Amino acid sequence: MNNKVVAALPLLLALAPSLAMAESASDNYHTYCIQCHGMRGDGMGVNIRDMSVQPRDHTDAKAMGGRSDDEIFKVIKEGGLSISKSVLMPPWGSTFTDNEIHDLVKYLRTLCKCKHGG
């Protein structure tokens, strides 16, 4: 290894966990959520024609900004009913660990480019 590579190593190692996180939350979203919430998270998934309640547009900064991270965590883990929303939003608590759900919350914040309260 030359000196430049050695110098870059600590930086790469420091970045790796956060890159891995971003990637797996995005993978999970694309595996489990897009059939309803859409490829771009805009609520236009392939299922929506037959759904009586339409999935949330996750790119809607106004709607998503009105929710705290805790509420988003809860609705992913326990399903729509847990926050008085439709049962058509399934609970994912047996699919994901709490850490994976926290990562999904962070991923949703990148889709809406918003945080709670604005």
For residue 11, the number of C-alpha atoms closer than 13 Å in the C-beta half-sphere is 5
Nearer of residues 15 and 46 to ligand HEC, judged by Cβ: 46
Dist. CA 99–CA 10, nearest whole Å? 25
Residues 25 and 107: beta-carbon distance below 8 Å: yes
Residues near 83 by beta carbon (within 8 Å), at least 6 away in sequence: 71, 74, 75
Q: Which stretch binds ligand HEC (CB under 6 A): 3-11, 13-21, 83-91, 110-118?
A: 83-91
CA-based nearest residue to 58, from 78, 29, 18: 29
Residue where the block lists tokens 């608590």? 93
Contact track, ligand HEC, 23-52, x by CB under 6 A: ---------xx-xxx---------x---x-
Nearer of residues 10 and 51 to ligand HEC, judged by Cβ: 51
Nearer of residues 13 and 105 to ligand HEC, judged by Cβ: 105
Q: Which stretch binds ligand HEC (CB under 6 A): 6-14, 16-24, 69-77, 109-117?
A: 69-77
Q: Which helix (H) or strand (E) holds 84?
A: none
Name the residues that contact ligand HEC, by CB under 6 A.
32-33, 35-37, 47, 51, 53, 55-56, 67, 72, 75-76, 80, 85-86, 88-90, 92, 104, 108
